[in-house]
Structure 1
């Protein structure tokens, strides 16, 4: 799958840097997230990656990884190159069994962390991954378990998103920006999509799912979230009343969380 120029530049910079600092360390590089669904917005999307290493990195290899990510950040800034570095043996097991691994997020590296080490990433790699180096990954190479993915999604709604919904109900002004609407409305919609259909979706895919399954009264705020993601420079129906956008976002988030939880784990 061809990837956008901005994403290609970021990944080319990383691979050239790591091959210079530690030849042979990175044997595979795979992208997931929005790029795996053919959805990418250079000013807002991240380049989400998983790198396969030849061996667990020692201190020299960790410094080589950090130096490579610093080079990416210096040269490109955005889009962020976010992800983690594992062994092939880690991918054939549940991410819950994966040890802490080197991670990178927004140009900051951790020698050991768990950023994006979760069932969603594993399933995106197996079913929607983009191969830039190494053999293409299949479900024989990457652990998948639909029941575990569903349970993880349900738990995400129960914990993180229920907390967000409660906060917004008390303080809807925190969701008055178009960016907050995009994050909340599309975030809960893609989780509802998975619980309703059993399949993964992009953020925009989650929004279009929401337009299909929720009452027309919710369509203005869903459409606003899609506008904010896909055409942020265009006029908004909420431009004259961002307070209403905050209330509608808060109300939708609370409704969609309850609807998703009602679908069961």
Structure 2
């Protein structure tokens, strides 16, 4: 079994204890996915991504108790943040479903309306870590690699094209952004697109860092500086690879457009 970071185990031990105490006999499964499941946890950067299984929908009062549990955990442990959804067993493996009855916790609040896709279930089935419940490989669902590829192709043509267009428009007001905000955008865009590239090439899922390292082996050297920049941001490593924030963002835009065009031309279907 993969080793769970000590701080993650500490947070989850307290969370699970609180859940059982305040909502007894409700939690039947708890699975880690995301960077922890992909063995790519980065301290002070990665979240605790999870899928929790409850045995019936939460009432309004129970949802408030759950929100209180999360607020208490977040108050004690600001980092790493928990980020996940509460489902029932029959919900697992459902692709492209939007259900307003799914509670999910993200960025400090409990909301409703989680959306699932092939990537969610692929990571759970292939890499998920069971804290409570059967091992992920024993769960009763399968994901066809072709569905994974189809989802990524559509995601590149919609979400990523739209996101890059918005960034380009925002570049007209660069003075509004802090260096830290630019760091976040570079990491998200460069490594996010490279994760899509990896999936289209290998029909599998990889972490952000893994995608960056993979790209350094497969991408032309002209793109290595911005890829290394994104990797260093992810690792919280100091670097001085570009003279200005403007040039870093210009490189990010050029690379993102190149990758979208490349994937659509060479790796689509």
Same-fold call, TM cutoff 0.5? yes
Shift of 1:139: 6.1
Question: Are 1:84 and 2:89 matched, yes or no?
Answer: no
Structure-1 residue corresponding to 2:213: 208
1:243 aligns with 2:218: no
Equivalent of 2:234, from 221, 229, 233?
229
Task: Decide whether aligned partners of structure 1 residues 179 and 97 sit closer, same or farther in structure 2, where only a CA change above 3 A counts.
Answer: closer
Paired residues for 1:134-153 under 5 Å: 134-138=133-137, 140-153=139-152
Q: SS of the counterpart of 2:198?
A: helix
In the alignment, structure 1 residue 113 sits paired with structure 2 residue 113 = yes
Match of 1:61 in 2: 62
Q: Could you say which residue in structure 2 is the equivalent of 1:51?
A: 52
Indicate if the aligned counterparts of 1:93 and 1:143 stay in contact, CA closer than 8 A. no
The alpha-carbon distance between structure 1 residues 143 and 100, as it changes in their structure 2 partners (threshold 3 A), is: farther
Comparing 58-67 with 124-133, greater Cα deviation is found at 58-67
1:249 Cα shift? Answer: 0.7
SS for the counterpart of 1:51 is strand
Query: Structure 1: 5+ residue runs without aligned partners?
Result: none
Q: 11-20 or 87-96, which moves further after superposition?
A: 87-96
- Check the 8 A contact 1:211/1:222 in 2, yes or no: yes
Cα pair 1:90 1:98 within 8 Å, conserved: no
Rounded to whole Å, the distance in 2 between the matches of 1:175 and 1:118 is 33
Deviation at 1:196, TM superposition (A): 1.3
Q: What are the ranges of 5 or more consecutive residues in structure 2 without an aligned counterpart?
A: none
Deviation at 1:75, TM superposition (A): 1.3
Cα distance in 2 for partners of 1:185, 1:89 equals: 35
Secondary structure class of the residue paired with 1:234: coil
Q: Deviation string for 1:165-217 (max 9, x for gaps)?
A: 22334444469733321111101000011011101010011112221222111
Of the structure 1 ranges 36-45 and 246-255, higher mean CA displacement relative to structure 2 is found in 36-45
Matches of 1:257 and 1:228 in 2, distance apart? 22
Determine the structure 2 residue equivalent to 1:252.
255
Pairwise CA distance, 1:38: 0.9
Instruction: Give me the whole-angstrom Cα distance separating, in 1, the residues matched to 2:141 and 2:47.
Output: 22
What is the TM-score of this pair, normalised by structure 1? 0.90
Distance 2:99 2:125 in 1: 16
Q: Distance between the aligned counterparts of 1:122 and 1:236, measured in 2? A: 38
Q: For residue 127 of structure 2, what is the aligned residue in structure 1?
A: 128
Q: Which residue of 2 aligns with 1:264?
A: 268
Alignment length, in residue pairs? 261
- Following the alignment from structure 1 to structure 2, what is the Cα–Cα distance between the partners of residues 244 and 260? 24
What is the aligned-residue RMSD (CA, Å)?
2.1
8 Å contact from structure 1 (residues 168, 175) kept in 2: no
Q: SS of 2:137's equivalent? A: coil
Kept in 1: contact 2:199–2:205 (CA 8 A): yes
Displacement of 1:44 in angstroms is: 1.4
